[in-house]
């Protein structure tokens, strides 16, 4: 695996760190590939129950590396072709995969955000299930500055977090706003001066819960949030039927009754 993204797994928690601190963790072509590769690797790791996504140095991610855009500008026909082509069995194209892969992963993902999360950076953060941001962190859906729209999977999460008129305003203006406003807009789950420490504390709380519950809750909300009226009821019962009465459910009940930490499989 490339040093552009670091992966550490400990106590069922995977910490994924974007590792281009000298470039504010800007997204190069190799970064796109490496982030996708790490995500695919974690999809197959049954020992991981929670993922933390963060950036090395002072920033989360400043978005697309401008040198990458320069490379694409030399052959826009190929770029346009790549935008409309998807590998067999994939929902996301090559550009979208580094963000979308975190929504394909069954377990909860927590983004710990400091410094800037611009363009592709904010879209990567929005792909997480939870976002913990420093109050002075800076956000921007910045693509309009470059004459394009955001296209790294923002349609899969922004509509669940804020109103349509707010989404349009942020996309059209590309304005910069801080962590406090992001929280008020519903884009951030919580504010903390030390977002990584807060994310680690939250992750340690989550791993004490049944992994079946963590996966089931994520799937339930992701699938039902925009489902037609009534379909969510079927989703609830289908997911519950695959949890109730099985080993981790029994262990949760016994641990609660016996007032001891649970030991989940």
Supply the CATH number for residue 200's domain. Answer: 3.90.226.10
The per-residue pLDDT for 231 is: 87
* Alpha carbon of residue 84 to chain centroid: 23
Asked if residue 253 and residue 155 are part of one domain, the reply reads no
Asked if residue 47 and residue 109 are part of one domain, the reply reads yes
Asked if residue 231 and residue 155 are part of one domain, the reply reads no
The per-residue pLDDT for 255 is: 92
Q: Position of tokens 């309009």?
A: 144
Q: Which domain holds residue 89?
A: 5-206
Asked if residue 195 and residue 111 are part of one domain, the reply reads yes
pTM > 0.85: yes or no: yes
Asked if residue 130 and residue 57 are part of one domain, the reply reads yes
Asked if residue 225 and residue 248 are part of one domain, the reply reads yes
The per-residue pLDDT for 229 is: 79
**Which of 54, 27, 166 minimizes the C-alpha distance to 110?**
54
Asked if residue 57 and residue 144 are part of one domain, the reply reads yes
Asked if residue 215 and residue 142 are part of one domain, the reply reads no
Instruction: Tell me how far apart the alpha carbons of residues 118 and 15 are, in angstroms, rounded to a whole number.
Output: 21
Res 76 pLDDT > 90: no
- Asked if residue 105 is part of any domain, the answer here is yes
Asked if residue 114 and residue 26 are part of one domain, the reply reads yes
Instruction: Tell me how far apart the alpha carbons of residues 126 and 156 are, in angstroms, rounded to a whole number.
Output: 9
Asked if residue 88 and residue 192 are part of one domain, the reply reads yes
Contacts (Cβ under 8 Å, ≥6 apart) of 116: 24, 59, 60, 61, 62, 137, 138, 139, 140
- Asked if residue 262 is part of any domain, the answer here is no
List the Cα angle 109/83/110 in 5-degree steps.
5
Per-residue model confidence as pLDDT tens digits over 177-206: 999 999 999 999 999 999 999 999 999 999
Per-residue model confidence as pLDDT tens digits over 80-105: 777 777 787 888 888 899 999 999 99
- Asked if residue 45 is part of any domain, the answer here is yes
- Asked if residue 264 is part of any domain, the answer here is no
Q: Give the count of domains, the chain.
A: 2
Asked if residue 233 and residue 194 are part of one domain, the reply reads no
Instruction: Tell me how far apart the alpha carbons of residues 257 and 216 are, in angstroms, rounded to a whole number.
Output: 23
The per-residue pLDDT for 1 is: 55
- Asked if residue 23 is part of any domain, the answer here is yes
**Which of 11, 8, 56 minimizes the C-alpha distance to 31?**
56
Res 78 pLDDT > 90: no
Mean pLDDT for 207-217 is: 97
């Amino acid at each position: 695996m490339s040093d552009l993204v670091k992966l550490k797994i400990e106590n069922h928690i995977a910490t994924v760190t974007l590792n281009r601190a000298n470039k504010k963790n800007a997204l190069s072509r190799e970064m796109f590939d490496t982030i996708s590769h790490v995500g695919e690797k974690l999809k197959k790791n049954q020992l991981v129950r929670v993922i933390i996504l963060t950036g090395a140095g002072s920033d989360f991610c400043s978005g697309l590396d401008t040198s990458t855009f320069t490379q694409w500008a030399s052959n826009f026909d190929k770029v346009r072709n790549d935008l409309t082509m998807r590998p067999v069995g994939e929902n996301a194209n090559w550009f979208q995969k580094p963000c979308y892969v975190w929504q394909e992963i069954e377990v909860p993902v927590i983004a710990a955000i400091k410094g800037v999360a611009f363009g592709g950076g904010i879209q990567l953060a929005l792909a997480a299930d939870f976002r913990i941001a420093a109050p002075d962190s800076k956000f921007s859906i910045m693509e309009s500055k470059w004459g394009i729209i955001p296209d790294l999977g923002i349609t899969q999460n922004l509509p669940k977090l804020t109103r349509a008129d707010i989404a349009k305003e942020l996309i059209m203006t590309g304005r910069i706003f801080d962590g406090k406003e992001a929280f008020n807009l519903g884009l951030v789950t919580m504010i903390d001066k030390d977002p990584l420490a807060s994310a680690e504390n939250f992750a340690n709380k989550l791993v004490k819960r049944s992994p079946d519950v963590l996966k089931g809750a994520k799937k339930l909300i992701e699938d039902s949030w925009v489902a037609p009226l009534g379909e969510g009821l079927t989703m609830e019962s289908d997911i519950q039927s695959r949890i109730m009465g099985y080993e981790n459910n029994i262990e949760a009940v016994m641990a609660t009754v016996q007032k001891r930490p649970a030991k989940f499989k």
